[in-house]
Each structure stands twice: as structure tokens, then as C-alpha cells.
Structure 1
Amino acid sequence: MSSNDGPAADGGEFPANTVEEALARALEQTRGEEAADDAPGGAPGGASESPEEAAGAVAGFITALRDGDLWVPLPEGSGVQDDGSIALPTLDLEGSPFIPVFTSEGQLGERSAELPYTVIPARELAGVLPEGVGLALNPGNEPSVPLYPETVEALSGG
């Protein structure tokens, strides 16, 4: 783990890195599929032409995320505890705990610029989270995506 003096600022542009590029593709494909399902006469321009393409874009995002970094805000009381454990902030989403994480320093800065943070490889974070914990990706920002516990488990594998 590192702190604020880690990777250089990505700026506020989306997408700022390969994870965000893959996220944008996955959202475009999956939202395109939803729009195509609702649109009379077929898919709108630029939308995915098949569920397989949408699934491929989502799989590509998961792969990019597994190999990428996440920015984790560390509000007061978070971080390494006296017993050596690491306390992370959580959000309640649909009755389950989710750790708020961001895909870039720019995304973090939109909501939590004043907080200290750490940058950690997504695979490493996923590997140490307890079973049943999800990740709230870019919470409050656009785009914001919940990663449910099953997906988090897949991130830690390889």
C-alpha cells in the first residue's frame, strides 16, 4: 500500500487509465444492450449487437480491474489498527457492506479530495476482504458501479 505521495494525479478526465477505459466500454455495451431491448426495430447506433459482446466487455473490464489499482479513501479511524488489522470505510448497499474505492485519483478527488487515501492493486485488496464484502466503485460519481461479493472474489483469482 502507498499513500497520497503515490502515483501522479490522473486529473479529472474519464477515462484516465486502462481500468476506466474498460469500464467505459463495458458500460457502453451493457447499456446499449438494455437500450436495444427497449428500442423498436433493434439496437441504436453504437450499441452492442449481441449479449456475447456485452459479456465480453464486462469480462474485459474485470480483467483490467484485476490488473489495475484502486484508490481507497482513509477517513479518520481507518487504516492500520493497533492489533495490525486494517480498518476500511464501508457503505451499506442493499443490506450488505461495500468498501468505497475509486478507479483513479481524479475520481477520488471528485468526492473525497480532502481525505487521505491509499493506492492498492485491486487483486490484492480483493484477496484480503472478508467473504460477503463488495466494492462500491466510484460511489457518487459518474460512472458508479457496485461490484458484488461474487465479483470481488473473482478479482482475487487469476
Structure 2
Amino acid sequence: MQIDQSPSHETMNDGSTSNNGTPKNDTSGQSASFKMPRAPPHVYSCFVVNRTAQPIECTLKYNGRPGEQKFDQTVSVTIPANSEHYFPRQFFQPNLPESYCKWVKIVTYVKVKKSNGKILEVKYPFEHVQYPIRNWEFHVKDNGGILSKPPTRIVNVLKYENLDQYEC
């Protein structure tokens, strides 16, 4: 008894088979490759660092779900000279009571009013942000605008985000 060792069909990467060795859905002779979409450049929490000799007024805007303003939030604080303020993550639950899923808001706008009345602002997407991140830093200097910088320190999450239990 002799066994025929020529393949009568081949298995493709997607599990489909063909009798002649070409993919079923391939009409161009080239296979299409999947490309993973890029992660969004979201900032979830941040420090605004006042590197000036005067206090500044800072307004920060968080956005909830795109296209809906009911989950947006604006926070205004005065940051003393040579000091900083931490803006923690903010959550919202859009589908209560049907779903208890929490969504995190994203920082979309930082506006600073200096003591001389000059207004500086930066808007989403922020410079140098390449992927979703927490504890981003915005540095306000005497001369110049607002610098967008990656985190420079390890942050004690329990201290800054008032977490006393595990998140669900």
C-alpha cells in the first residue's frame, strides 16, 4: 500500500483551507495584515506645577463621554508661588442603575491666569503625550507658556487619589 504525500489541501492562518494553496479570500495575491489601532493620548490625572514667584489661578477641564456634556467637570484652584496642585482621576457612571460600570474622565483643557493678567492655556491632545497616562505634569514658568512633561516622580496613589479600597 502506498500513501499519497502530496497535499490535497492546505490550512491557512485564519483556519480556512483551499485546494490549490492560495487563501480563499485572497484575490490580489497578497495577504492583508492587521494593524493594531494606536492607544489614545489621554491624560487621566495631572500635576500643575507653579514655577513662578506669584500665585496663579488654574482651571482644568475633565471630559466624560464624547458628545455629552453632562459628565464634563471644571475645577478651579489657586496655586501658590513655587508650589503645585494635584488633579486626581475623576470617575462617572453613565448607565446607572442598569450598569455599575465606572468610566474615567480625561483631562482636556488647562488654563492658567498669571498675577500680571496673562492667560496661558493648553488643550487636548497635549504635547508629548503618546498613550493613556496618569500623573502627567504641566509646568508654568515665569517666561514662556505651559510645558507639558512626563511624570518625574513616583506617586503615592493612596495619598493623592484618596483610595482606601480596591477599585472594581
* Pairwise TM-score range, normalised by the shorter structure: under 0.3
**TM-score, normalisation: structure 1:** 0.25
Per residue, is there more helix in 1 or in 2?
Answer: 1
Computing the radius of gyration from Cα coordinates, the structure with the larger value is: 2
Which is richer in strand?
2
